[in-house]
Amino acid sequence: MGFLLESLRSAAGLLTSLDPELLGIVKLSLAVSGSAVALAGLAGVPLACCLVFAEFPGRRLLRSVSDTLMSLPSVVAGLLVYSLLCRKGVFGAWDLLYSPFAMAAGQFVLALPIIVSLTAAFLEHADPRIRKTALTLGAARWTSALAVVRETRNGLAPALLAGFGRVFAEVGASMMLGGNIRNYTRNIPTAMAVKTSEGEFAAALALGIVLLLAAFSINAAVGLFRREAERAL
């Protein structure tokens, strides 16, 4: 117990003194996960629109594939991107492995199905009159889908935040694709893993506290947006 308290005290010290290495780790985590989720959102919301509003064979199948991939193990996502980026892979010549880009690519693969499935579920439950009204006022097919997205935009934020929550704390893909290189590809989860194994509990704990704070803020934000969305419906 004394050991834990001691570690907590040093962790608080590291956090309040804004330890440069710690700050760098937090910044990298935010930058990698933030860009991965932003891109997954840009790709995922239109994809969700296709799954909900377009009519093509295999639509239902794709939808359940996306639902299944929501629980894709992060090491499998890591392996997938690894096979593309490694020397023998399709993009091997570009030497992208063990870089923040590779980490973001892995996180993109993890976040995409979550964003697609949650957005699709939300769009499916949107007021059917939105699309109907847009169509009868002369909107083209895609403009009318855009109208539904616009009208339900508050409800789409939880999908993005859920995607962020998934990738911000995952360790498998980041470790495989980033390689946990100090001051380059070391993010919060990989740093925690390595610090713990090196016996630096205080540093690991400080990072854990940052992770928990981030998780808490994300949950609070999801709750806030959900309430907003429910009020709008």
Partner 1 sequence: MLFDLKGVKRRFGAKTALDLPSLKLDEGRPVVFYGPNGSGKTTLLNLLAGLDKPCEGEVRFSGGPLDVTLVEQKPYLFNASLLENTVMGLRYRGVPRSRREALAEPLLKRLGLWDRRDRPCAGFSDGERRRAALARGLILGARALLLDEPMANLDRGYASVVEALITEEAGKPGRTVLTATHDLGQAFRMGADVVYLVEGHLSRVPLWNVFRCEVAASADASVRKALVAPSAEFIVSTEVLGPATVSIDPRDVLLSFQPIDSSALNCLKGRVESASMLGLEVDVVVSAGCRLHAFITPKSMARLGLKPGDEVYATFKASAVQVLG
If one asks whether residue 132 binds partner 1 (CB under 8 A), the answer comes out as: yes
Site track 101-130 with partner 1 (rule: CB under 8 A), x = hit: --------------------------x-xx
Question: What whole-number distance in Å separates Cα of residue 109 and Cα of residue 147?
Answer: 27
**What is the CA angle 161-165-171, rounded to 5?**
150
CB 100 within 8 A of CB 181: no
Question: What whole-number distance in Å separates Cα of residue 98 and Cα of residue 81?
Answer: 11
- Which two structure tokens, joined as six digits, stand for 20? 């440069």
If one asks whether residue 139 binds partner 1 (CB under 8 A), the answer comes out as: yes
Q: At what angle do helices 201-232 and 20-53 cross, to 10 degrees?
A: 30
Among 114, 147, 175, 188, binds partner 1 (CB under 8 A): 147
Q: For residue 117, how far is the Cα from the chain centroid?
A: 13
If one asks whether residue 85 binds partner 1 (CB under 8 A), the answer comes out as: no
Among 24, 133, 196, 209, binds partner 1 (CB under 8 A): 133
| Residue range at the interface with partner 1 (CB under 8 A); choices 115-123, 137-145, 197-205, 220-228 | 137-145
If one asks whether residue 134 binds partner 1 (CB under 8 A), the answer comes out as: yes
If one asks whether residue 137 binds partner 1 (CB under 8 A), the answer comes out as: yes
- Positions that interact with partner 1 (CB under 8 A): 127, 129-130, 132-140, 143, 147, 150-151, 232
